[in-house]
Chain A
């Protein structure tokens, strides 16, 4: 056994780590969430399977029936699929957080002299990078299958920015679920049974006017509809501002309601 001498660690003079240190801690913890992909390339496949599968299934199974042609349907449905996938993916934050808390990893991190927000921020940064990957995959595969971007790079970046903004807002609900749920399985069930109906009762996959009128009322309010329409505009051309505005208002509303709840639950649990 090697002998390790215990020298007194320099005592920090300031009572809290500064902004630079907080960024460094966040980067280290984001690395921690991403490095698993390096060992286990299956992680990347896990991350990619749903986008690829949904894109292929929706285009070729429903395309003909819904839009009369798979090409037209792809142009319509890809923005909806992108929005849906983003919502589902934002929930992975909940699962990761829940595992950290129940396994005690969170306690270990909190007993270290690091920025208090870094454990949460690191995870969210990593999950955001995964969102970028999924978006790129959707777009890349979509282009191969015949999806056309009519706006150019600015439109693509605009769509990504809007989606990430919404995903960040949604991550507050993920934090709330991850902190309050007793186990990872419960988080997954809760998230799935919430996200499935919310994403499907929108105009993401079919035009609103094909639905019963009582449902249309909800579909027109549903943020997923506005997000899908805004992405349609940003990628395919057409009006963007009204739907983007409503999406951002929704995002703001979600933050106003869920951020305080999540922070409170977080403080109580940890």
Chain B
């Protein structure tokens, strides 16, 4: 069989909000699909439907060949889920959290303990295993949460913004763990707000906006389409701003954005940057700042959709929508 996850026309509304508006997804076995999008784009809703927590209003989805609505129980035997919040019982120790899941999955007490011990070791929680989870740092909680989703040896793993709120070091550690799972052939669907994260981990990427897939492809393809890098030029004298804008527009053949004393434009070919520097030099324009950086998700969005990823505070939004419905 080819696809570990297949979804067709998934739709879900919460009141007036269309959280999902006809989403198609296909993830071949053993691949990692990155679902990229701003808050409120519908990423969490799609995970909740595929993980059998929420029924779709429309469309169909299969995970490992089972229908997520009619064969929800079979789907649950094959998946692991790590949500946006580290879903661990804080009053239990790390080990007890994992033993509990093992017991619920039908392992004997001894098996559940062995499995918990091995997972704790793998996630560098061996020493902390006997401590209550409420004493853990954010990174440790996420690792424990991920370990909990692996107790059942899932074939398909859902990671819903697994690194949101983590410091860079914990993020890199978690990436390492996810890569290890990929090597073992686990199919992963990972949602993220970070282009870099999708770029680092994903075989394929889909971009969500307002409950729809607006772009899909490989990370390289997507970046090429969106303009992989961004040039920012800030002249020392604000009066030169328009001059800078014209030079950048001319060399890069794009319409730059001017705001807060700086000119910003997507760059497809970094070789064009020296030309801009020379032109500005000829015009005696001094730049206080001239930098080339990776396109942010916001800019990918702007390039793909023509509008900014403008949903302000949605970490809570999808969650609340789910709660209120």
Contact = CB atoms under 8 A, between A and B. Distances in A.
B121 A107 contact: no
Interface string B77-98: 1111101111111111100100
Contacts of A210: none
A91 B89 CA distance: 20
B74 A15 contact: yes
Contacts of A19: none
Nearest to B151: A112
B39 to A, nearest CB: 17
A111 interface: yes
Interface stretch (A33-41, A69-77, A170-178, A238-246): A33-41
A165 to B, nearest CB: 28
A7 B88 contact: no
Contact of A108 (B83, B92, B184, B322): B83
A103 B91 CA distance: 12
Contact of A112 (B74, B92, B105, B122): B105
How many B residues touch the partner, as a band?
A: 35 or more
How many A residues touch the partner, as a band?
A: 35 or more
B265 interface: no
Contacts of B79: 111
A4 interface: yes
Contacts of B118: 2, 4
Contact of A15 (B73, B91, B93, B323): B73
Contact of B121 (A2, A6, A17): A2
Contacts of B186: 6
Given A110-B53, A113-B73, A4 B153 contact: yes
A112 B76 contact: yes
A8 B184 CA distance: 12
A1 interface: yes
Given A35-B92, A107-B83, A112 B152 contact: yes
Interface in A93-118: 103-105, 107-114, 118
A126 to B, nearest CB: 12
Given A113-B73, A113-B76, A104 B150 contact: no
A28 B103 contact: yes
B73 A12 contact: yes
Given A2-B121, A12-B74, A32 B153 contact: no
B71 A39 contact: no
Contact of B122 (A4, A25, A36, A40): A4
Contact of A105 (B80, B88, B119, B180): B88
B87 A108 contact: yes
A28 B90 contact: no
Given A7-B153, A112-B152, A270 B53 contact: yes
Interface in B296-325: 322-323, 325
Nearest to A27: B103
Nearest to A101: B323
Contacts of B6: none
B30 to A, nearest CB: 10
B73 A36 contact: no
A71 to B, nearest CB: 41
Nearest to A268: B325
Given A15-B74, A111-B81, A268-B325, A105 B87 contact: yes
B243 interface: no
B101 interface: yes
Contact of A11 (B78, B180, B185): B78
B75 to A, nearest CB: 8
A53 B73 CA distance: 48
Contacts of A107: 48, 51, 53, 81, 83, 87
Interface of A: 1-12, 14-17, 21, 25, 28-29, 31-32, 35-36, 39-40, 103-105, 107-114, 118, 182, 268-270
7 contacts: A9-B78, A14-B73, A32-B89, A35-B96, A107-B87, A112-B76, A270-B53
Closest 5 A/B residue pairs (Cβ): A104-B87, A113-B76, A104-B85, A108-B87, A111-B81
